[in-house]
Structure 1
Amino acid sequence: MGIINTLAEQDPLNTIYINSLFPRLMARRCRHSDVKFIHITTDCVFNGKHGRYTEESPHDAHDIYGQTKSLGEPKDCMTLRTSIIGEEKHQYHSLISWAQSQKNKEVKGYTNHHWNGVTTHQYGKIISQIMKENLYKENLFHVFSPSDVTKFELLRILNSRFDLNLTITPHEAQPPIDRTLRTRKRLQKVLSIPSISEQVQQL
């Protein structure tokens, strides 16, 4: 839940309420009602200069989206930090929907943007497994794909899966960004998340 990064700057006050306060209020209410609450948060709490971030890594986002999401990570629920990609029905904020909107065109693929998030379909599976196998625990957990990919490599995977006929040229963006996640916690091993290529094939 939350206001996405492309819209956060347009309405800072509402972004603070939705991204920072609402998750904490929801977690408190659920705990008082003995209801399990799983909150999804983002790798954008990090500025992407270093990569391989663990749950213990200090937050260093400079933008309002990352800062408000950082403030909105309750400790009295299960918080899953990740990055997700999926298809959209209307606009093109996600990489998948943007790539689909560029069918038969030439696009740039960033070779120095590194990522290891999950698809929305896989995230649904993760939530289901947590509930079915009683893995719920009030804590912060990183969940991510087992291997890192560049945005260039990810575009190639999407191009093949959705038959987009894209001409993808490698390109170095400025600044380079690496928000890849790591963890020492057991949950990641238990979830056995498949490669991002396998996840995309399931969309």
Structure 2
Amino acid sequence: MTIDLNLSFGIHGKNILRKYMSNNKILVLGSNGMLGKMISLYLDSFKDLDITLTSRNSTEFIEKNFGGKYLKFDAIGDNINSIINKKNKFDYVINCIGVIKPKINEKDNNSVNETISLNSYLPSDLQLVAAEDDIRYIQIGTDCVFSGKTGKYVENSFMDAEDLYGKSKIVGEIESTNKLLIRSSIVGPETGKGNSLMNWFLKNEARIVSGFKNHKWNGVTTLNFSKIVEGIIRNDNYTFRTQHLVPKNTISKAELLEEFKKNFKKDIDIKHVDAENIVDRTLSTNNQKLNENLWQLAGYKNIPTVQENIEELANSKFSHRIIN
């Protein structure tokens, strides 16, 4: 069944008439992480979408915002079939579970095993379940599958990551039937201390911090990604395997901190410095038309700049619900 709705989307508030599909059952794996929080809040704001979400444990954030929509799932100890089975059938599964680079200790066996389990084995298991049960599986990819030595990586560029994080993600990003991989670097708000660049900056109590001017970045926000996922589901756009999500421009990590400072009203000084090693993991794409289409599905008339995306994130009610 479909219904027509006239809604306002995107940073320019452009009204778009869309044909909305109802009765979509969506499972969000890892709703307590940086991406999972935003995707869960955003998709749950649409009453015609049937959202179920998971986390290792229930939290105050989950109880406050989702109540009975939560399923306990430990991706290391539990089998994925414990939540995806004949009783619990889903049309879409969005995997937000993963170990991020700052949390990995390559000298600790437990940390190494957890990283491989969550970043490599879990996506592989999901691929099999999605193919067997005809579920549409959306996986976020990372720019860290690339070393950062050249930049402007496209979808078929050689993945030359040198650390455990990147290598573990390479395995988890193998293409498969019913799997849609959208690759980008992401930033977004978190609760508590968090481990991401944005949260580190916003929670930092120092008077001055350093930002690298020779580390290049052209990622997106968790809100951008959430809107694109919703657009894909709404329009049943599932015609590709791997696509890079690329904004209009590229900035440095130091300039990214400046955007955080300006839009989140952070009273701190930023010293622009050169890192010992130049890092350029910027993404490009072999299919610019599809990149444009993804942004349009999310309600953006034109591909936005990094600066516009950070401004939108800072002004979003969903960001405020996560931070506050």
Smaller-chain TM-score range? Answer: over 0.9
Aligned mates of 1:97, 1:106 — CA distance in 2: 16
Residue 201 of structure 1 aligns to a residue in which SS? helix
Aligned mates of 1:103, 1:124 — CA distance in 2: 30
1:190 aligned to 2:317? no
* Candidates 292, 302, 310, aligned match of 1:200: 310
Does the aligned pair in 1 maintain the 2:120–2:171 contact within 8 Å? yes
The aligned counterpart of 1:12 is 112
1:113 deviation in Å? 0.4
Deviates more, 1:135-144 or 1:147-156: 135-144
The aligned counterpart of 2:222 is 120
TM-score, with structure 1 as normaliser: 0.94
Does the aligned pair in 2 maintain the 1:104–1:164 contact within 8 Å? no
For structure 2, the 5+ residue unaligned runs are 1-96, 296-302, 314-324
The aligned counterpart of 1:41 is 141
Aligned mates of 1:103, 1:194 — CA distance in 2: 31
Aligned mates of 2:216, 2:247 — CA distance in 1: 12
The aligned counterpart of 2:53 is none
TM-score, with structure 2 as normaliser: 0.60
The aligned counterpart of 1:152 is 254
Higher relative contact order (CA 8 A, sep 6+): 1
- After superposition, the C-alpha distances for 1:120-141 in whole angstroms (9 at most, x for unaligned) are 0111011111122222135111
Q: Which residues in structure 2 correspond to 1:11-160 (within 5 Å)?
A: 11-76=111-176, 77-102=179-204, 105-160=207-262
Does the aligned pair in 1 maintain the 2:103–2:195 contact within 8 Å? no
The aligned counterpart of 1:170 is 272
1:104 deviation in Å? 6.5
Aligned mates of 2:271, 2:233 — CA distance in 1: 42
Q: Which has the higher strand share?
A: 2
Sequence identity percentage: 35
1:3 aligned to 2:106? no
Aligned mates of 1:195, 1:188 — CA distance in 2: 14
Residue 20 of structure 1 aligns to a residue in which SS? helix
Aligned mates of 1:29, 1:79 — CA distance in 2: 16
For structure 1, the 5+ residue unaligned runs are none
Aligned mates of 1:19, 1:104 — CA distance in 2: 33
Does the aligned pair in 1 maintain the 2:247–2:306 contact within 8 Å? yes
The runs of at least 4 aligned residues of structure 1 exceeding 6 Å deviation read none
Residue type at the aligned position of 2:183: R
Number of residue pairs matched?
Answer: 203
Residue type at the aligned position of 2:120: S
Does the aligned pair in 2 maintain the 1:16–1:68 contact within 8 Å? yes
Does the aligned pair in 1 maintain the 2:249–2:305 contact within 8 Å? yes
1:67 deviation in Å? 0.3
- After superposition, the C-alpha distances for 1:45-74 in whole angstroms (9 at most, x for unaligned) are 011111000011101111100001001113
Aligned mates of 2:99, 2:205 — CA distance in 1: 28
Aligned mates of 1:140, 1:133 — CA distance in 2: 18
Instruction: Check 1:103–1:197 CA distance in 2 against 1; reply closer, same or farther (3 A cut).
Output: farther
Aligned mates of 2:134, 2:292 — CA distance in 1: 28
Does the aligned pair in 2 maintain the 1:27–1:74 contact within 8 Å? no
Deviates more, 1:166-175 or 1:137-146: 137-146
